[in-house]
Amino acid sequence: MTRILVVDDEGNIRRLVASLLEAEGYTPVEAETGEEALRKMAAEEPAAVLLDLALPGSSGLEILGKIADRWPEVPVVMMSGQATLGDAVQATRLGAFQFLEKPLTPEAVLITLKSALELRRQRDLNRALRQELEPGQELVGKSQAMEDIRALVRRVASTDSRVLITGESGTGKELVAVAIHGLSERRRKPFVRINCAAIPRDLIESEMFGHEKGAFTGATAQRRGKFELADGGTLFLDEVGDLSPEAQAKVLRAIEAGEIERVGGSALIPVDVRIVAATNHDLETEVREGRFREDLFFRLHVMPIRIPPLRERKEDIPLLVAHYFDRFRARHALRPPTLTDPALNTMLAYEWPGNVRELGNAVERLMILYPDQAIDASEVSSVLPRIRLTGPLPPRDGGSLSELLENYERGLIQATLEAAGGNIAEAARRLSTDRPNLYRRMKRLGIERERDDSAEA
């Protein structure tokens, strides 16, 4: 269960807040002083902290500063019945998530805590992504193309300009976005990602801008959107080419005005975010054909970065294979196989339509199937797609026309999904259809969805 630390010298307030949290399924942990709170945090880190401003001994602001230094990922909500504007400003500078005025109301506590935990989730994701960016691993490869990208990332990161990252599915666009954030002045603030292709169109505005209680059916509480959660940091708009026209207009307004309006609300909320967007679409063509707003394109296309497909930098494949072997050795506690020259040549000869993501999947299969073995070309071929998309599938003997067509369709969809690394949005694009139609066909043909598009880079 989610642990929440409640720090207040007034025992009745601690007990009331703890009871409220426990009723909502949280695990409350109580502390009477700041020093006691620090000891309990050192013993087991909570997901969030509710911290009173006026404490005996070290003040709430002093404890806030220590928490921010030692546990920067933990959001802290300050509570006070006598805070001044100066206190609020100082708390914000020290990293407080929000101020709650006493007397506390259950609704205010729960809404604020929910938003704080969403920020914590984003921070944890950010930390996990940064682990992919340890020195020498951030953008693996020594090809000239990768050297140029690393140099451009360093140059762009030092500015606050908007960036548009383009490239095929699986090339590593999200890693580039995280690298830009990690090298920027905003690196201590949130990196918040939203996959524009994975969210239903009728929910995209709520996800981006938040909503007020009662704004629509099911909106039982106020919710902060991704723009607010990313305030001070970086907002990564993944698959931005899939935004609906209505959402494009709202994003454009937020970028231009530096403020957003929650769904169902009327207050304008200022936000300070750096926008980094990514897409596997050709947005210039989308603009010419009227599917993407020209004014939004120019707002995003300040600094373009193109990530080349793996087939354009095959000299990086040996380094990438070694990188993935190191990663999967720790994940699966297995010794990696040894690639013979024919095995490596097979990898170099393959076109990798799913790019680095497909390569990673293939390497993981090799690690699981052939641990601590010398593998040849046949083993590598066994983990690559058997059905190639370079021509029609051969007809099968026997069966009715409908059965043959169904088999052909099933094989084509499975091969396309394999080539797209399991990304259904990308597979739909390659098959020149939309995702709902592809979902229906997959269901009819008994093809399981192996992974969620929201995890794609």
**Mean pLDDT, to the nearest integer, of 226-248?**
92
Q: What is the DSSP string of 132-191?
A: TTSTTTTT---SHHHHHHHHHHHHHHTS---EEEE--TTS-HHHHHHHHHHTSTTTTS-E
Beta carbons of 133 and 153 less than 8 angstroms apart: no
- pLDDT higher than 80, residue 132: no
pLDDT digits (tens, 9 = 90+) for 16-43: 999 999 999 999 999 999 999 999 998 8
Distance CA 362, CA 371 (A): 13
Q: Where are the domains of the chain?
A: 3-122, 132-308, 311-382, 401-455
- Strands 338-339 and 374-375 turn out to be parallel
Helix, strand, coil content of the chain in percent (nearest 5):
50, 15, 40
| pLDDT greater at residue 278 or residue 412 | 278
Which pLDDT does position 236 carry in this prediction? 96
Backbone angles phi, psi at 394, to 5 degrees: -70, 145
If pLDDT is split at 50, 70 and 90, which confidence band does 248 have? very high
132-308 adopts what CATH topology? Answer: Rossmann fold (3.40.50)
Distance CA 72, CA 119 (A): 12
Closest among 149, 126, 129, 127 to 139, alpha carbons compared = 149
CATH tag for 311-382 (out of 1.10.3720.10, 1.25.40.10, 3.40.980.10, 1.10.8.60): 1.10.8.60
With a pLDDT cut of 70, the percent of the chain lying above it is 91
Distance CA 187, CA 393 (A): 50
Cis, peptide link before residue 309, omega less than 30° from 0: no
Q: Which residues contact 205 (CB under 8 A, 6 or more apart)?
A: 246, 247, 250, 263
Beta carbons of 369 and 328 less than 8 angstroms apart: no
| pLDDT greater at residue 19 or residue 92 | 19
Tokens of 185: 């002045």
Which pLDDT does position 450 carry in this prediction? 55
Angle, in degrees to the nearest 10, between helices 11-23 and 106-131: 70
Greatest Cα-to-Cα distance within the chain, rounded to the nearest angstrom: 85
**Mean pLDDT, to the nearest integer, of 305-321?**
94
Which pLDDT does position 41 carry in this prediction? 92
Q: Which residues contact 96 (CB under 8 A, 6 or more apart)?
A: 64, 76, 77, 78
If pLDDT is split at 50, 70 and 90, which confidence band does 386 have? low
Beta carbons of 431 and 416 less than 8 angstroms apart: yes
- pLDDT higher than 80, residue 230: yes
The answer to whether 3-122 and 132-308 have equal CATH topology is yes
Which pLDDT does position 137 carry in this prediction? 39
- pLDDT higher than 60, residue 456: no
- pLDDT higher than 70, residue 103: yes
**Mean pLDDT, to the nearest integer, of 398-424?**
76
| pLDDT greater at residue 80 or residue 128 | 80
Closest among 54, 49, 91, 55 to 74, alpha carbons compared = 49
Which pLDDT does position 372 carry in this prediction? 92
Distance CA 229, CA 213 (A): 18
- pLDDT higher than 80, residue 232: yes
Distance CA 129, CA 121 (A): 12
Average pLDDT, the chain: 86
pLDDT digits (tens, 9 = 90+) for 342-379: 999 999 988 898 899 999 999 999 999 999 999 999 89
pTM over 0.85: no
If pLDDT is split at 50, 70 and 90, which confidence band does 106 have? very high
- pLDDT higher than 80, residue 151: yes
**Mean pLDDT, to the nearest integer, of 133-150?**
74
| pLDDT greater at residue 320 or residue 135 | 320
**Mean pLDDT, to the nearest integer, of 209-232?**
85
**Mean pLDDT, to the nearest integer, of 379-398?**
60
- pLDDT higher than 90, residue 267: no
Which pLDDT does position 241 carry in this prediction? 93
**Mean pLDDT, to the nearest integer, of 301-317?**
94
With a pLDDT cut of 90, the percent of the chain lying above it is 51
CATH, range 401-455: 1.10.10
If pLDDT is split at 50, 70 and 90, which confidence band does 453 have? very low
pLDDT digits (tens, 9 = 90+) for 170-219: 999 999 999 999 899 998 889 999 998 888 877 888 889 988 888 887 77
Which pLDDT does position 452 carry in this prediction? 44
Closest among 346, 312, 327, 321 to 168, alpha carbons compared = 312
Which pLDDT does position 428 carry in this prediction? 82
If pLDDT is split at 50, 70 and 90, which confidence band does 433 have? confident
3-122 adopts what CATH topology? Answer: Rossmann fold (3.40.50)
